[in-house]
Chain A
Amino acid sequence: MSDRIIFEDVSKFYGEILGVNRVNLSIPPGITSLVGPNGSGKTTLMNLMTGLVKPSRGRIEVLGYPTDDPENLFKFVGYSTQFDAFPKGLTGFQFIYSYLCLSGMPLQDAERTAWQAIERVNMVDAASRKVAAYSKGMRQRIRLAQALAHNPKVLVLDEPLNGLDPLARSEMIALFRASATEGCYVIISSHILHEVDVISDQVILLSNGYVVAEGQIQTVRSEIQEHPTQILIRCDRPRELAAKLFESEYTIEASIHNDGRGLLLKTRDADRFYLAMNQLALNGLQIESIAPADDDVLSVYEYLIGNEEVVR
């Protein structure tokens, strides 16, 4: 019996389209944030975790249970999705109540439990109104109530803070923290790192379907800052240039192009590299072009962390 949420070499393709690729994760209790821009695979990862989609490759296990056994899985998993559609014609209360009834709970228990969940998300006043007439934030909260209703050990929440006002936001965050303190697994997604970094015990950064960094927030931060930058340089004397650059300790690796007129450089400190390059150019080196080779990953980090925090 495992006490983790485990992804083993998991890939998901929607036909030709990549959802996530080669994901290996082992998620411990506490608040875990999935962070990445739109289309990076957050929802896909959550859908995989809850069996709504099946992996094209690899294996997923939630606290030792396979994800294709909903009868057992959802006894301890609650999922608040990003899907904004509800079964037709239900009120907020009926939505939670019928969800609980589906689990086979006796009707009186279901009613009582439903009201408790509605109270936890502060929706008592609106609970007898039709969900169709709810505002975005209210729909968000009633979905949250559904995920919480049966007190699951694993809470999977897709962008749960989206559409909430600041007050509701801090209430919900308090709720997540409380659950985490009780030993629950709270998995939340967001596309803004600073929205969740203070509350998260660990973060998983996603980009284009890949996990690009993972771990405790401090580790991830420094990993990002120390992430080597790759730079492509076209010049007349690459060997000489490489030798010069290796004099400084921030250069990690350099490989000369086959045609002998360029090199790919890995550096730990792009800013100092550019300074050094300026110096070398002044010394008569013929430089055709300099361009960052992995703009993609870099821009993702910038986007996630916010420009001012990226120290290079």
Chain B
Amino acid sequence: MTRLWWTQVKAVIRLELKKTFFAKRGLWIYAVAALPVLLFIAYAVAMSHEQHRTTEIARDGERRLAYQDLLAIKPGMTKQEVAAILGKPPLVFHWTERRPTGPNSTEEILHEDLHYSDGQNDLYLGLANGKVQSINIHEGYNLGEDAIMFAGVFQFFFLRLAIFFGCLGIFMNLFRGEVLDRSLHFYFLAPIRREVLMAGKFLAGLLATCTIFVTSELLQTIAFLWHFNPQTRDLYLYHNHGLEHAAVYVGVTFLACIGYGAFFLVAGMLFRNPIIPAAAVLIWEGINPFLPALLKQFSVIYYLKSLCPVEIPVSPGTPGLFALFISNADPVSPPLAIVGILVVALLALFVSSVQVRRMEINYTSE
């Protein structure tokens, strides 16, 4: 019996794949999946451009500098003292400012911006009348910051929007699309259990969304790592859990497709208009951090958030509600989170299996 069902599931998948991957209605999903990849490529291009400039400035400088040298500069130092440590600045901007000091008198201030580099990091010094006033060190590779940026894009764009709407587009249409095309009866006339049909369609949707979004996730990681020099990359991948994080992101992407997929499979059977359930689920997932603990559990994002490897820090100035939204107040442990998502998905699949048995062909021939 199960052998037969499996054969039938495979037949359904074969029929569905063309639709889930190449439906004209679904081409925008590729665009949504490509967006973060393009973002990271653009970022990498900008970063390597900047890197190029930094190297140039280091080369143009009088001395070869070390990071330690950059750190030696203190506020209040004179231009000569700076030059004694770092040599003649390779890049200087200056301008004068006329500042009123009384009704008829003005004071003239000479501003100078010096730019040094050790080949990787930039030092920006602001001098006023020959004394160091501001010091800015811009580190070439700020892995910590970049990893948080990656985490932010993943959580707030990729999970909540890209995969969310991608799953909506693909899973909602599994049944609804064929009702709109008036071709669902083709499946309903075959000697196949409705539940088996549903399973086949769900797996076809899963195959499509996982392929699209896992590929996107991998390309994002590659684009993200692209502008680092090999040493930094190795450091990140092998000593800073980079590889591990990349694997976890792929896993979370996979689970997100299962969770949202099951959600939208039911929604596609219960509603004719996709806007309503989409908005409802989006709002439900959005207000999740503010819900009581029990209700929180009936959500996909709740578990996904707990699985994300890099936590996004809340900067001190963030307003309370917003901070609550960003932070993960009461995370669940990873095994529990995985089980949680699978249970939510199974629940949704159970509802849709009841629903699919009840479904009738309600369209007429005209």
Contact = CB atoms under 8 A, between A and B. Distances in A.
Given A43-B365, A47-B361, A104-B8, A87 B15 contact: yes
A88 B11 contact: no
Interface string A28-51: 000000000000000100010011
Contact of A83 (B15, B19, B365): B365
B191 A75 contact: yes
Given A70-B194, A87-B186, A88-B183, A104 B361 contact: no
A99 interface: yes
Interface string B347-366: 00000000001101111110
Q: Which of B181, B185, B191, B360 has the most chain A CB within a 10 Å cutoff?
A: B191
A79 interface: yes
Given A52-B360, A74-B191, A104 B7 contact: yes
Nearest to A89: B18
Interface residues of B, number: 33
B11 A83 contact: no
Contact of B186 (A43, A54, A73, A86): A86
Interface residues of A, number: 34
Contacts, number: 91
Interface string A90-121: 00000000110111100000000000000000
A85 B365 CA distance: 8
A274 interface: no
B15 A98 contact: yes
Contact of A84 (B11, B12, B186, B365): B365
A103 B190 contact: yes
B241 to A, nearest CB: 46
A70 B188 contact: yes
Interface string A50-64: 111110000000000
A79 B186 contact: no
A81 interface: yes
A286 interface: no
Nearest to A95: B186
Nearest to A99: B190
Contacts of A79: 189
Contacts of B4: 104
B49 interface: no
Interface string B307-329: 00000000000000000000000
Nearest to A106: B7
B358 to A, nearest CB: 8
Contacts of B194: 70
A103 B15 CA distance: 13
B156 interface: no
B192 A102 contact: yes
Given A52-B360, A83-B365, A101 B188 contact: no
B19 A53 contact: no
A82 interface: yes
Nearest to B360: A53
Contacts of B191: 70-75, 102-104, 150
A85 B181 contact: yes
A74 B183 contact: no
Nearest to B191: A74
Given A102-B187, A102-B190, A82 B19 contact: no
B183 A87 contact: yes
A269 interface: no
B59 interface: no
A199 B185 CA distance: 28
Given A43-B365, A53-B361, A88 B181 contact: yes
Contacts of A75: 191
Interface string B190-207: 111110100000000000
Contact of B192 (A68, A71, A146): A71
A195 to B, nearest CB: 18
Nearest to B16: A87
B182 interface: yes
A246 interface: no
A103 to B, nearest CB: 5
B351 to A, nearest CB: 18
B182 A83 contact: yes
B14 interface: yes
29 contacts: A43-B364, A47-B361, A51-B188, A52-B188, A52-B189, A52-B361, A53-B362, A68-B357, A70-B188, A71-B191, A71-B193, A72-B191, A74-B191, A75-B191, A79-B189, A81-B365, A85-B182, A86-B186, A87-B15, A87-B183, A87-B186, A98-B15, A101-B11, A101-B15, A102-B190, A103-B8, A103-B192, A104-B7, A104-B191
Given A54-B360, A71-B193, A86-B186, 12 more contacts: A14-B362, A50-B189, A52-B185, A52-B360, A52-B361, A53-B361, A54-B358, A85-B181, A98-B11, A99-B186, A102-B15, A146-B189
